Amino acid sequence: MDNINLPNNWDEIYYDQFLLLKELDLSESSYYAKNISRLAILTDTLEDDEVWEDIDVEELSVMIKGLYWLKTEPSTDFSRKIGDLTFKEINKISFGEFIDLEYYFSTDYFLHLPEICAILYRKTKQDEWGNTIFEPYDNINIDERKNLFNDLPISNIYGIIKEYLKFKDLINNTYKNLFEITLDESELDEEPEAYNEEEQAEIAYENKIAKWSWENVLNKLSNGDLTKYEDITNLSIIFILNQLSYRKDMDI
């Protein structure tokens, strides 16, 4: 036990380890097997390493108690600069960046955290007036850049998830009129109670997706002109939402 060095907090856990720990939490392994797996992840060893085969229950119990911090979540603070890359504040992202972020957040966003970081961390330069200019989104190869974030401590980037979800809550509240959900009466029986609460929620969700698919939004704002798509996706997401809200209020 003396030669086993266990991490003391999330600052010592790297992204790949964090991902393995998340997957382990969902496994149906026994208590003993799960804790051996957890210790193997934290020490970069194998589960069948002799150090774990020889350990007795008392030693294992002491080590597990020392990992109480795993029941907490990593800090929601995160690094605004990583190497020569700077975090682009989420309220300044473009419509195109927002669409791609929404795709990754609609699946397993922890699994796609490197891709999310690849979108939000950019090279910068100063213009002649001292303003910060971010690298154009079109210049980024997400599949290449995401590799820069695979070997970082999870505490450097975990808070980005919370930052984006907070932003989504803000725009959902600010632009509530855009995201109101109405059940499609044509899909319901004459007696709505024929559908239980879960089924009605599913219909509502499908309606929302159909209404706010980004292809529909792009088509609406470009009046069906595909040549305008690139210009529209480069506009600020806040500007796009303001335009959608205006058009809805004016019934345009």
Tell me the average pLDDT across 227-235: 89
Burial 30-50 (b: 16+ CB within 10 A, else e): eeeeebbbbbbbbbeeeeeee
Number of domains in the chain: 3
Burial of 122 (0-12, 13-18, 19+ CB in 10 A): buried
Residue 81 has pLDDT above 80, yes or no: yes
pLDDT tier, 188 (very low <50, low <70, confident <90, very high otherwise): very low
* Half-sphere exposure (Cβ direction) of 212: Cα atoms closer than 13 Å: 19
Pair (178, 147) in one structural domain: no
Q: How far is CA 43 from the centre of its chain?
A: 27
Specify if 31 maps to a domain. Answer: yes
Residue scoring higher pLDDT (210 or 143): 143
Task: Name the one residue in this structure whose structure tokens are 């699946």.
Answer: 107
**Whether residue 86 is found in the same domain as residue 154:** yes
- How much is the pLDDT for 35? 86
pLDDT at 222 over 90: no
Count Cβ atoms within 10 A of the Cβ of residue 212 and give its class: 0-12 exposed, 13-18 middle, 19 or more buried: middle
Q: 2 lies in a domain? A: no
Q: Are 153 and 206 in a shared domain?
A: no
Q: What is the pLDDT of residue 1?
A: 47
- Residue at 167 is within a domain: no
pTM: 0.81
Same-domain pairing of 58 and 94: no
Residue 3 lies in a domain: no
Instruction: Examine the domain organization and report whether 91 and 154 are in the same domain.
Output: yes
Residue 76 lies in a domain: no
Confirm if 189 and 199 have CB atoms less than 8 A apart: no
Same domain, 193 and 151: no
For residues 123-144, average pLDDT = 93
User: Are 146 and 179 in a shared domain?
Assistant: no
Domain boundary at 112, 127, 159, which? 159
What percent of the chain shows pLDDT beyond 70? 85
Average pLDDT over residues 192-199: 62
Domain-embedded: residue 103: yes
Residue-range definition of the domain harbouring residue 105: 81-159
Q: What is the dihedral of CA 106, 95, 86, 18, to 10 degrees?
A: 0
Q: Which of 20-29, 59-68, 148-157 has the highest mean pLDDT?
A: 148-157
Lowest mean pLDDT among 1-15, 138-152, 203-217: 203-217
Q: Following DSSP, what letter does each residue of 39-77 receive, concatenated?
A: HHHHHT--TT-HHHHS--HHHHHHHHHTTGGGGS---S-
pLDDT at residue 202 above 70?
A: no
pLDDT (0 to 100) of residue 98 = 93
pLDDT confidence band for 3 (50 / 70 / 90): low
Mean pLDDT of the region 103-128:
94
Torsion of CA 74, 77, 80, 82, to 10 degrees: -20
**Do both 235 and 190 map to the same domain?**
yes
In a domain, 128, yes or no: yes
- Residue 36, pLDDT > 90, answer no
Domain final residue pick, 159, 187, 218: 159
CB 156 within 8 A of CB 78: yes
- Residue with the bigger pLDDT between 49 and 82: it is 82
